[in-house]
Amino acid sequence: MTEIAMHGHGVRGMKRETLHSFDGIGDPGKFGVMFPDLVPLFASDDALFELAVAMGDKLDEKGNPTSTGDNPNIPAGYTYLGQFIDHDITLDTTPLDQQHADAKATTNFRTPALDLDSLYGDGPGIHPYLYQRDPKTFRIIEKMLIGHATKSNDQHNMPIPGDKDGRLPNDLPRNQVGHALIFDERNDENLLVAQLHLLMLKFHNKVVDWLVATQPSLSGTALFQEARRVVTWHYQWIVLFDFVELLTEPGLVNKIKHQGRRFYRFKDRPYMPAEFAAAAYRLGHSMVRETYNHNRVFNPTEDSLANATFGLLFRFTGKSGFIVGELDPNPGDFPPNPQATLPSNWVIDWRRFFDLGTPAGGNFALNHSRLLDPFVTPALHTLPGHKPGLPREQEQQFILPFRNLSRGVQIGLPSGQDICRAMGIEPIKSSDIAKGADGKVAEKHGLHVNSPLWYYVLKEAEHYHQGKRLGPMASTIVAETFLGLVHGDKQSFLQKRSNWKPELPSATAGHFTMADLIRFVGDINPIG
């Protein structure tokens, strides 16, 4: 989705790498490719930059995203679920300007599996700081550590239930300087993915309670291991049959599950396909909103304290923001928090991010994701630090679409049209790629005939489904990759019990969605 970030480094100066295919013949390490015989697309930096600039989304006269750009089929919470998933399957600590020294990147890469190692680490024995301890014996118990939000400094007559003593249990666990005590610190880089990580911690703890009630013979290590299995299998189900199902062609996941993967193949250990990681799964950049209706305190209405802008979602985190009490040159209404925890009035209202059936009214509305189209909202399109008048080579590094497009060329991805032909799919007509302001720029540089893969993925969604879901080529790449990652995990439900169905309470027996998970946890709208 890979990945939503406000900070980072450019990719200019990196040499093109040759990626190897391990199509059923070996284990490649970090990256392999699905289509090794296709010719890489070449495009100049100038052409890519001009196209990237044209991919900026438009806002209304008040600076808000237009309603016509919203995707009514996908609630905004799935944008950040996608980021959480990305962090679960990828971890490369090599700086971008050094990645060419390890083309297959085998030394700093976590296993590409939907196994929630981002949540559990290597378990209580290796990473005990992630887990609760018995207050009397100090023994590590089966539950995950939960943090507490600080009583908000509320001068706007918006009292928060439960925060009188500053112990609202709705922040990530943190040390005294605000650093989140979680295995993957990227899950504290914006508030929405941080609150989603917290939701998953609480999900585990609720599953422990459920197991104690339903299987009282379980205790200790056996209880923890069974809770982890239940949590992980339900998470894998959500990824395949809720998240991917929303993004792709209806029924495609089950179709591929029964008929087999045609393009993402490996002998033993899954690899990360470059076509997925560097293009198809970067669809999340198009889904990000400029502002969010976050809770009853922070939303776009006049009776709120302020609008929940994309920038503020990064500010109220430990990794990217100011909750750790750092000096902010423009504190405005949000001075640094000396308590180094999340203010309680920033705790999320999950009804606004996933469809729990709550009717709109007052200051409440469900946030939709933005359409899957070739446009990126301004707050993400142009990254912090950009200044007018920079030389072209410096300015490029602040334009997120340029970095995506350039990365695809540098690692040798083929055009979207060539991948379609390799799949037996008729490519979109070049005249249709050339539509719109972005399409005119693509046509100017011949990129409407041979299009960068990431750009083609977004144009395909726009062309076939008006941006409401992915087109046939991208749907296949995304669905096959996720099915392969689950199938290649020897502890997954597809390996252990292929006909398994979710066992936790849900709206539909034998199915489980993010809405079901949130209802099971029960902490839906903590601040009322």
For residue 38, name the pLDDT band (cuts at 50, 70, 90).
very high
Q: Is 153 among the domain residues?
A: yes
- What is the per-residue pLDDT for 454? 98
Q: Is the pLDDT of residue 108 over 50?
A: no
CATH number assigned to the domain comprising residue 342:
1.10.640.10
- What is the per-residue pLDDT for 29? 55
Mean pLDDT confidence for 234-263: 96
Mean pLDDT confidence for 126-155: 87
User: Quick check: 243 and 82 in contact, CB under 8 A?
Assistant: yes
Q: Is 23 among the domain residues?
A: no
Range in 38-42, 107-111, 161-165 the model is least confident about? 107-111
Cα–Cα distance, 473 to 423 (Å, whole number): 8
Q: Is the pLDDT of residue 337 over 70?
A: no
Q: Is the pLDDT of residue 371 over 70?
A: yes
User: Quick check: 211 and 218 in contact, CB under 8 A?
Assistant: yes
Q: Is 70 among the domain residues?
A: yes
Which structure tokens are listed for 426? Answer: 């008729």
Mean pLDDT confidence for 452-461: 98
Cα–Cα distance, 171 to 166 (Å, whole number): 11
Domain count, the chain: 1
Q: Is 476 among the domain residues?
A: yes
Q: Is 421 among the domain residues?
A: yes
pLDDT tens, 147-179?
A: 999 888 655 567 787 777 767 899 999 988 888
pLDDT tens, 381-420?
A: 998 888 787 888 888 889 999 999 999 999 999 999 999 9
Residue 199: C-alpha distances to residues 237, 350, 520, 521 (Å): 17, 10, 11, 8
Q: Is 7 among the domain residues?
A: no
Residue in the block written with tokens 């990719």: 11
Mean pLDDT confidence for 72-88: 97
For residue 339, name the pLDDT band (cuts at 50, 70, 90).
low
- What is the per-residue pLDDT for 324? 47
pLDDT tens, 183-214?
A: 999 999 999 999 999 999 999 999 999 999 99
- What is the per-residue pLDDT for 457? 98
**Is residue 368 within a helix (H) or strand (E), and if so which, with residue range?**
strand 368-370
Q: Is 4 among the domain residues?
A: no
Q: Is the pLDDT of residue 5 over 60?
A: no
| CA trace torsion 494, 500, 502, 508 (10° rounding) | 120
By three-state DSSP, how is residue 193 classified? helix
Question: How many other CB atoms sit within 10 Å of the CB of residue 216?
Answer: 9
Which structure tokens are listed for 454? Answer: 């990431």
pLDDT tens, 7-25?
A: 333 333 333 333 333 344 3
Residue in the block written with tokens 């410096």: 394
Average pLDDT value over all residues in the chain: 86
Burial (CB count within 10 angstroms: exposed 0-12, middle 13-18, buried 19+), residue 325: middle
Domain encompassing residue 458:
31-300+309-382+394-521
Q: Is 14 among the domain residues?
A: no
The winner for highest mean pLDDT among 47-51, 65-69, 106-110, 379-383 is 47-51
> In terms of DSSP H, where are the helices of 370-425?
378-381, 392-395, 400-410, 416-423
Full-model pTM: 0.90
